[in-house]
Chains A and B, each alone.
Chain A
Amino acid sequence: GDSVTQMEGPVTLSEEAFLTINCTYTATGYPSLFWYVQYPGEGLQLLLKATKADDKGSNKGFEATYRKETTSFHLEKGSVQVSDSAVYFCALSPNGSGNTGKLIFGQGTTLQVKP
């Protein structure tokens, strides 16, 4: 079945460092891909998404490119801030005639940014 795998956390960085959180997926057809962020004590918020191969999603300085050839959707940010400390979830939504709108999540990666 469809699945999402994220890199193990926690990831600890200093402020202004470069961030990469790896995400790979297994899916039939052409899923849509998402990154959600969960700040401490809050629910998940959509960070960015991409709906087809080679699309780049971007928001708040974060970027991720839908790579069908490597089945990846890695999250990157050039310069992280303390306020980026959160849990990041990669997710996919299967498309096609069987689309039910369900999201399949990775296990989440905790990011801690130190001043």
Chain B
Amino acid sequence: DADVTQTPRNRITKTGKRIMLECSQTKGHDRMYWYRQDPGLGLRLIYYSFDVKDINKGEISDGYSVSRQAQAKFSLSLESAIPNQTALYFCATSDPVGTTTDTQYFGPGTRLTVL
């Protein structure tokens, strides 16, 4: 079974709808991240969380919110979806405890289309 799972894998929705993307991990990691991928732009960080009580904005957090329900679960919400939020969304985890660098482990991605 995959260590980092994302649901749904694909979603088509309409402008103005509320959408939630879910991420679960079995790696036991404290840190979790949400990125979006756009062609030619690489991955950009939306939000990140170091533990259940610690949530931080990334470089492109406007229009998004997150919830860290447990160590293993980190959800991303689009309160009112708009077409320029059409992208591939990735969840990632890492565990830097006792290390000076982080290796991040990525889920398979959710392809979101906003019409």
Q: Which residues of A contact B (CB under 8 A)?
A: 4, 32, 34, 36, 41-46, 49, 51, 89, 93, 95, 99-103, 105-108
Contact = CB atoms under 8 A, between A and B. Distances in A.
A61 B105 CA distance: 21
Q: What DSSP secondary structure best describes chain B's contact surface?
A: strand
Given A43-B108, A43-B109, A101 B90 contact: no
A93 B102 contact: yes
A101 B48 contact: yes
A32 B101 contact: yes
B98 interface: no
Interface of B: 4, 31, 33, 40-45, 48, 50, 56, 58, 90, 92, 94, 96, 100-109
The interface centre, meaning the residue of B48, B102, B109 with most chain A CB atoms within 10 A of its CB, is: B102
Q: What DSSP secondary structure best describes chain A's contact surface?
A: loop
Given A43-B4, A89-B43, A101 B96 contact: yes
A97 to B, nearest CB: 11
Nearest to A95: B100
A95 B102 CA distance: 10
* 6 tightest Cβ-Cβ pairs between the two chains A and B: A43-B106, A105-B42, A32-B101, A101-B102, A44-B106, A107-B42
Contact of A102 (B4, B40, B48): B48
B43 A105 contact: yes
A46 B103 contact: yes
Contacts of B4: 43
A103 to B, nearest CB: 6
B90 A93 contact: no
B60 to A, nearest CB: 12
A101 to B, nearest CB: 4
Given A101-B48, A108-B42, 6 more contacts: A43-B4, A43-B90, A43-B107, A44-B106, A101-B50, A107-B41
